[in-house]
Structure 1
Amino acid sequence: MSILRPFLSRVIRQGRLTVVAPDGTQEVFGEPAPGFPEVVIRFASRRGMRRIILDPRLGAAEAFMDGDMRIVEGDIMELVALIRMNTPWDRGAKLKDKTWLGRRTDWLKTRIGSINRQRQSRANVKHHYDIGNDLYRLFLDADMQYSCAYWPRPDMTLEEAQEAKKAHIAAKLALAPGQRILDIGCGWGGMAITLAKLEKVEVLGITLSEEQLALARQRAEAAGVADRVTFELIDYRDLAAREPGRFDRIVSVGMFEHVGAANFDTFFRAAANLMTADGVMLLHTIGRFGKPGATDAFTRKYIFPGGYIPALSETLAASEKSRLIATDIETLRLHYALTLRQWYVRTLAHEEEIAQMMGDRFFRMWTFYLAGATAAFESGGMGNYQIQFARSRHALPLTRDYIGEAEARYAG
């Protein structure tokens, strides 16, 4: 009997997973079921199997990255999906891969690791975003939007869905000519440049990534909006101290996940201080359904050190302390899953280039990251929230009609 049998026999009920041991013996788990993948994996050594027993998530990732576990039929997306589909969050199922002590340890490591003082924040950003713009060009859309797209139609291209996302967000900002806008965590500048093209506004984008900053400035020049769009390498906390009350609008897309739970209060206090009295903010963030939790060991170690996905309750509780009014909340349930699947397909299409650029182990790590994230949004407890905040109850129209009207204008 395989040392993996006690774990896999509990998890895999629908779909089929065939495990080939180093000596060639096979064990089959689960039964074929419509919509569930069928995957065959082979272990090169018993060490790879032991790694999974000791820590199923991190162990499986590292066994796959190091070549101890190879997928003979199917791919890593199907393997991770098979496990997640058998433990869907919506039905209260849990992947019981940790004891109470293990879960508590993960919680503590997440909280300590995401304290994110300013020097650590810069180091964490460098770990993920300064590994080279060329990598991101290979799997992102043409505008390099590295966040959840918006899919009003399932047959859209990734480029179309990202354009729709920007129009959706711009509409919620209630833009008007002459406004001063702050983009916190501006990435490669796509959102800031788009806002300046949609309306005659001035935009400041801030980032902690030197690679992103350089490219964002080049792109603003190329787009002909450098007179109204500027970018700066600065922490949002320093900017709040330097320029209180300057901005009519704030947008932040995919940055709040890097703030860390210990800094939620600080983030919203800074945002409130940066806004004018009738200012409006649109926060687009990954969020967890249900109660607060912890960041898994693989993500902490390899992908987003210092990151933490907040529950909606944590986000709103922190914003309330700065007297920000949550004027609109939208939950994007499956939009990121659709986005991630597009990134995964593009990543596979550029395997040779990425492996040459970053190495085979990195390529396998990246595909595991994208597969795990996709499964979390399809069957796990992850989604996206767009939360609109205002400092004054009079800052926005009384109904949401203005959002649809502006979105149609911007998307058209």
Structure 2
Amino acid sequence: MLFARLLQAGIRQGHIAVIDHQGRRQDFGSGAPSVTLRLHDPALNWSLGLSPWLKVGEAYMDGRLTIEDGSLYDFIDIAMRNTEGLSSLQSQKVFKVINRCLRWWHQRNPVGAAQQHVAHHYDLSRKLFELFLDDSMQYSCAYFATPTLTLAEAQQAKMRHIASKLILQPGQKLLDIGCGWGGLGIYLAKTAGVHVTGVTLSKEQHEIACARVKAAGLEGQVDFKLQDYRLEPGRFDRIVSVGMFEHVGLKHFPEFFAKIEELLVPGGVALLHAIGRRDGPGHTNPWLRKYIFPGGYSPALSEVLPVVEETGLWVTDIEILRLHYAETLKHWRANFEQNRAAIQALYDERFCRMWEFYLVGSELSFRHDYNMVFQMQLSRGIAAVPITRDYMFDWERAEAARPKTKMIWSNGQAAE
């Protein structure tokens, strides 16, 4: 069978046993980790071999592929460790070329279509996100300054780390592009005394963010809008965007950075926090694109920097965060599993399997594959930021030593 040929050629680390619909068993590779798969549908013998990066996830979601020994984590761990070998067959090379050719279409996110893509994921039940995120509802890479931090502490550290690069002064106007549920904007307003405008395309996120502003007593200082960033008419001293750039799409990079330049006042500073790839230009995993993030793409820096160079913006700092997101996803996965029964009651078993596949696959892509996070500081002017990086560390350490700022999050309880 074609799936067997793929595994025979590709598995060099770890062991996979496959039991087909007739009970026949084949073994591939050796050593740990080890997993046993059972295929319940004869059609999987061909479909998994032709398009494994799409069909394996679909078969797991539908229950046509089950795991009898080992775990989903073990299975995807083996696949990630053997990505090069599993991509070596001619059929996989053909699919890779096809996906590369179609990526401009897959990443088409004009005004209107972008909101539909966002709604697919971010307009799911708020209860879902509350069940696996921390209380601040940060849905992006946390910052584990030490490995013993809790998820909430690491998300607080992430917001502090970002703030240190924005060089904030009381009274400045800040734009948060892709503001999520409002946690970062509220934090920056309370911590630095800035006036925050946030924009999101998610109706659910907008509703929650506005409620949090009211609960925090920040009306008049923080304003969240249901609006595409490209329609924003204002001018700002500072701009921040966290976890939104992955939804822009390659063909829209020029208008994104042109808009950043247009919105920043002379001497302004922006901070872009986004998932990237270390292995050069590529394409989005087809399963992830179809079921989790339609229109999404995590770019290589070689695809971002040439676009910035066409603007008048300075790239004044770039930091690469590697395993921080793997640890973040580990916490989210644990929370999801702990609350799985409640999530299944919200949706169904297939949904839970889909999100398990998403969370496990994403974590392991940051541990073994090409994913990383970059923070890119941009300025509109050569002297907009100090010429050494000491200011970042000095501010961050001083802020960490201060008494914690009380926040009112979505559950209506005060949190530090």
Q: Same fold (TM over 0.5)?
A: yes
Partner of 1:105: 98
What is the CA-CA distance between 1:379 and the residue it aligns to? 1.1
What is the CA-CA distance between 1:3 and the residue it aligns to? 4.2
Find 1:131's aligned residue among 99, 111, 124: 124
Partner of 2:349: 360
Find 2:184's aligned residue among 181, 186, 191: 191
The within-5 A match list for 1:164-179 is: 164-179=157-172
Q: Using the alignment, how far apart are the partners of 1:155 and 1:329 within structure 2?
A: 26
Q: Using the alignment, how far apart are the partners of 2:279 and 2:327 within structure 1?
A: 22
Could you tell me which amino acid in structure 2 is paired with residue 132 of structure 1? Answer: S
**Where in structure 2 are there 5+ consecutive unaligned residues?**
402-416
Could you tell me which amino acid in structure 2 is paired with residue 75 of structure 1? Answer: S
1:371–1:69 CA distance, 2 compared to 1 (3 A): same
Contact 1:44 1:68 in 2 (8 A): yes
What is the CA-CA distance between 1:94 and the residue it aligns to? 6.6
What is the CA-CA distance between 1:74 and the residue it aligns to? 2.2
TM-score normalised according to structure 2 size: 0.93
Q: Using the alignment, how far apart are the partners of 1:261 and 1:75 within structure 2?
A: 35
Pair 1:69-2:65 in alignment: yes
The more displaced of 284-293 and 40-49 is: 40-49
Partner of 2:19: 20
The within-5 A match list for 1:13-412 is: 13-32=12-31, 36-87=32-83, 95-96=87-88, 98-239=91-232, 242-243=233-234, 246-412=235-401
What is the CA-CA distance between 1:99 and the residue it aligns to? 4.0
Q: Using the alignment, how far apart are the partners of 1:313 and 1:269 within structure 2?
A: 18
1:15–1:235 CA distance, 2 compared to 1 (3 A): same
Q: Using the alignment, how far apart are the partners of 2:164 and 2:111 within structure 1?
A: 32
Q: Using the alignment, how far apart are the partners of 1:55 and 1:221 within structure 2?
A: 49
What is the CA-CA distance between 1:47 and the residue it aligns to? 2.2
Q: Using the alignment, how far apart are the partners of 1:49 and 1:369 within structure 2?
A: 23
Aligned length: 400
Contact 2:9 2:86 in 1 (8 A): no
Could you tell me which amino acid in structure 2 is paired with residue 391 of structure 1? Answer: R
Could you tell me which amino acid in structure 2 is paired with residue 25 of structure 1? Answer: R
1:94–1:253 CA distance, 2 compared to 1 (3 A): farther
Q: Using the alignment, how far apart are the partners of 2:25 and 2:199 within structure 1?
A: 53
Q: Using the alignment, how far apart are the partners of 1:226 and 1:50 within structure 2?
A: 58
SS at match of 2:112: helix
Could you tell me which amino acid in structure 1 is paired with residue 70 of structure 2? Answer: G
Partner of 2:414: none
What is the CA-CA distance between 1:227 and the residue it aligns to? 2.5
Contact 1:110 1:306 in 2 (8 A): no
SS at match of 1:4: helix
Sequence identity of aligned pairs in percent?
Answer: 43
Deviations 1:230-254 (Å, cap 9, x if unpaired)? 1001111111xx22xx200000000
Contact 2:51 2:92 in 1 (8 A): no
Q: Using the alignment, how far apart are the partners of 1:3 and 1:180 within structure 2?
A: 58
**Where in structure 1 are there 5+ consecutive unaligned residues?**
none
The more displaced of 189-198 and 23-32 is: 23-32
Q: Using the alignment, how far apart are the partners of 1:19 and 1:339 within structure 2?
A: 32
1:94–1:30 CA distance, 2 compared to 1 (3 A): closer
SS at match of 1:281: strand
Indicate the RMSD between aligned Cα atoms, in angstroms: 1.4
